[in-house]
Chains A and B, each alone.
Chain A
Amino acid sequence: AQRVTQPEKLLSVFKGAPVELKCNYSYSGSPELFWYVQYSRQRLQLLLRHISRESIKGFTADLNKGETSFHLKKPFAQEEDSAMYYCALSGYNQGGKLIFGQGTELSVKP
Chain B
Amino acid sequence: GAGVSQSPSNKVTEKGKDVELRCDPISGHTALYWYRQSLGQGLEFLIYFQGNSAPDKSGLPSDRFSAERTGGSVSTLTIQRTQQEDSAVYLCASSSQGLNTEAFFGQGTRLTVV
Q: Which residue numbers of A lie inside 8 Å of B, CB to CB?
A: 6, 9, 32, 36, 43-46, 49, 51, 86, 90-92, 94-103
Contact = CB atoms under 8 A, between A and B. Distances in A.
Contacts of B40: 9, 102
7 contacts: A44-B93, A86-B43, A92-B99, A96-B48, A98-B33, A99-B45, A103-B43
Contacts of B102: 46, 49
Contacts, number: 59
B41 A102 contact: yes
A102 B40 CA distance: 7
B14 interface: no
Interface stretch (B17-25, B69-77, B79-87, B103-111): B103-111
B50 interface: yes
Contacts of A6: 42
A43 B93 CA distance: 10
B43 A100 contact: yes
B43 A97 contact: no
Contact of A95 (B3, B42, B43, B53): B53
Contact of B103 (A46, A51, A101): A46
A-B interface, 8 closest residue pairs, ranked by CB to CB distance from nearest: A102-B42, A100-B43, A44-B105, A103-B42, A46-B102, A97-B48, A43-B105, A32-B100
Given A9-B40, A44-B91, A98 B103 contact: yes
A101 B91 CA distance: 15
A94 B43 contact: no
